[in-house]
Structure 1
Amino acid sequence: MASYVVMEPPGRGGEERAVLVRDGFHFLAFLLPLVWLLFNRLWIEALAVFAAGALIGALGSWFGAGAAASVVSVLLALFVGLEAASLKIAALRRRGWREWGVVEADNASNAEIRFAASLETQLADEFVPAEDIAQPQLPPSRPATHPARPTGPVLGMLGYPGRN
């Protein structure tokens, strides 16, 4: 089973727009790291990977170590593939998104179903039926011929209405 990190957008009522990010190795991010980063709108990370790749290529050609530069480039791609989910979650946090929790499922559609079910359970736990809410108890009504008597102590020197 894979783990999916659920990220909620900023503001309230964003459960319907939550994003599920699979935690694990992203093979496409390993094969095409720059393309994957740009596709996922990770601009800062794409710029850093582009700069690191250019630096690796320049140093490899400068020192004549083409094989070593290739190995380091593969290691950079491996790093992006391993850390792709973390990079995406960090970018969402920078944009104000917050982490709701983790859902475990076999695939993304099952993870969405489990997330929706846990939201329903959470809302059901917070729901209080109307009959369980304490209603204020009004005193029984008195006939108009008898004036109301005070029921508790009085502060001050003022009398009660109807009492002389």
Structure 2
Amino acid sequence: MASSYVFLVPPDGQREDTRTIRDGFSWLAFLFPWIWLLAHRLWLHAIIAFALQAIGGVLTEEPGFGPAGMALAFGVNLFVGFEGQNFRIRSLASRGWREEAAIGASSIDLAEEIYFSNIETGADFKVPEWNQTSSPQTRPGHSTSLGLFGFDGGRK
């Protein structure tokens, strides 16, 4: 199953310090929400998660409010599990980091290989010029494809 990885470049533009964050559900964030948030230096988010879980704990002790307290605590866990990585990305973006790319890959190693292979190395490569001839088979709108859209982007 492929995941999406977001690549963030620091404000100074140094590619060596690029951060890769998997955009998706985090089990550690789900199981330990405010601890996970503290570990990633998301102080305000951690305080809010802790406060909501504390309120949920107090509600479970009150007669008749037990299910509401458990639902609140579980909701916090679920929310941080799904949105925790997005909190990290937004926090870095607010400090000047730039989202450079989002790559779908089966592993972080493959995503980094794809990302870093697309960065210019400074080498001067000459691209060959292809001879384009206009024949009835190559005119825009007359190309063959298996989907609904042709190679030129038009609808069949």
Fold-level similarity (TM above 0.5) = yes
The residue type equivalent to 1:10 in the other structure is P
* Identical positions, percent: 38
Residue 84 of structure 2 is matched in structure 1 by 84
Residue 99 of structure 2 is matched in structure 1 by 99
Contact between 2:29 and 2:81, CA under 8 Å: does it hold in 1?
yes
1:23 deviates by 0.9
Residue 11 of structure 1 is matched in structure 2 by 12
The residue type equivalent to 1:96 in the other structure is G
Which structure has more helix as a fraction of its residues?
A: 1
- SS of alignment partner, residue 120 of structure 2: helix
Structure 1 residues 84 and 61: CA distance shift in structure 2, 3 A: same
Say which one has the larger Rg.
Answer: 1
Query: Map of 1:119-134 to 2, 5 A cutoff?
Result: 119-120=119-120
Q: Deviations over 1:16-42 (max 9, x none)?
A: 111111111111111111121111121
Partner Cα separation in structure 1 for residue 8 and residue 53 of structure 2: 30
TM-score, normalization by structure 1:
0.68
Q: What is the alpha-carbon root mean square deviation over aligned residues? A: 2.1
- SS of alignment partner, residue 120 of structure 1: coil
Residue 36 of structure 2 is matched in structure 1 by 36
Partner Cα separation in structure 1 for residue 44 and residue 118 of structure 2: 34
Aligned residues: 125
Residue 108 of structure 2 is matched in structure 1 by 108
TM-score, normalization by structure 2:
0.71
Residue 118 of structure 2 is matched in structure 1 by 118
Partner Cα separation in structure 2 for residue 113 and residue 40 of structure 1: 25
Contact between 2:21 and 2:89, CA under 8 Å: does it hold in 1?
yes
Runs of at least 5 residues in structure 2 that lack an aligned partner in the other structure? 127-156
Partner Cα separation in structure 2 for residue 89 and residue 66 of structure 1: 35
Structure number with greater CO (CA < 8 Å, separation at least 6) is: 1
Partner Cα separation in structure 2 for residue 120 and residue 104 of structure 1: 20
Q: Runs of 4+ in structure 1 displaced over 4 angstroms?
A: none
Partner Cα separation in structure 1 for residue 8 and residue 44 of structure 2: 20
